[in-house]
Amino acid sequence: MNEVDNAEKEMNRGFLQLVVLLLLEKAMYGYMIVRVLEEQGLTVDENTLYPLLRRLEEKGALSSRWDATEAKARKYYEVTDQGRVLRGSLLEIWVKQGKTIQTLRQEVRS
């Protein structure tokens, strides 16, 4: 794994948390999230995504339920009110960071 891959992985940690909180306004199961994110051009390792879902659930940001109505049981996750508050805070940070990067890039150009 090269340096860019390493940096991407580190940057994705916080980013993925925000993405998941945005995406799970509608209940989804783990593999469905992987597929949706892949369609959006974001490849996610399952061993990273699932533990993240569980951590967010432990924090109360997500709720989950097992659905066995189909041929096989699946665990569906959905964002909670607490998760929405967290999402708002993370979005603020993300916007602030974006502005900082923008400013720094402009300074570099000039």
Partner 1 sequence: MNAHISDFLERVRPFLVAANEVDVLREIGSSVEDRAAGMAGGMTEENLQAAVGAMGDPRDVAAAWSTARPAVAANYRKIHWLLAGLLYAVTVGMAVISAITGGATFVGPFVYIPSLTPLTLLCYLPFAFVFDYGLASLLIQVNERLGTRVGVEWVRHIAHRDPRRGRPTLGRVIGELVGVAGTVALYLLARFGIPHVVSLPGPMQLMKIPFFIPFAVCELALVTAEFTVTFVHYARDWPAFAIIKPLAGMVALLIAATIVRTSAQSGLADLILRGVLVVTVLIKTWDLVQGVATAFFAWNAAPRM
Which of 35, 59, 99, 105 contacts partner 1 by CB under 8 A? 35
Residue closest to 87 by CA, chosen among 19, 38, 28: 19
74 lies in the site for partner 1, by CB under 8 A:
yes
Q: Which is nearer to partner 1, 21 or 52 (CB)?
A: 52
Which of 3, 4, 39, 47 contacts partner 1 by CB under 8 A? 47
Q: Which is nearer to partner 1, 15 or 29 (CB)?
A: 29
Footprint of partner 1 on this chain (CB under 8 A)? Answer: 29-32, 35, 46-48, 50-51, 54-55, 58, 66, 72-75
